[in-house]
Amino acid sequence: MHIAFVSRESFQQSMGGQAGGIGRYTQSLSSGMAALGVTVTVISQSPDAELRFDSQDGVRIVYLPKWQNDSFLSWRLKQLEAMFLGTRFGG
């Protein structure tokens, strides 16, 4: 079985194990599943503009380049706008 997790935050290397929230949850869950023999890949956001590949606790980690716009809300607004423009009300 191969499982992939997609999480904007994960495996915070610079936090020294002090990160919490969804990043910590993704790290704990994927590491636990890998320990049970499941092939796990985590796809996450790189802290910079570099595409990175790593492995930690038996989990393959793919860090995608940082989103251009850091604002979580603005990304959602762009998605809503695109959905709206696809309707008869938006154009």
- Choose among 59, 67, 78: nearest CA to 4: 59
Distance (Å) of CA 49 to CA 13, 14, 29, 40? 16, 16, 26, 24
Residue 20 has a pLDDT of 65
Q: Are 52 and 40 in contact (CB under 8 A)?
A: no
Share of the chain above pLDDT 90, in %: 24
Q: For residue range 43-78, what is the model confidence (pLDDT) as tens digits?
A: 888 877 788 889 988 999 988 887 655 555 566 667
pLDDT band, very low/low/confident/very high, at 87 (cuts 50, 70, 90): low
Whole-angstrom distance, CA of residue 60 vs CA of residue 26: 12
Distance (Å) of CA 60 to CA 53, 76, 88? 7, 28, 43
Residue extents of the structural domains in the chain: 2-85
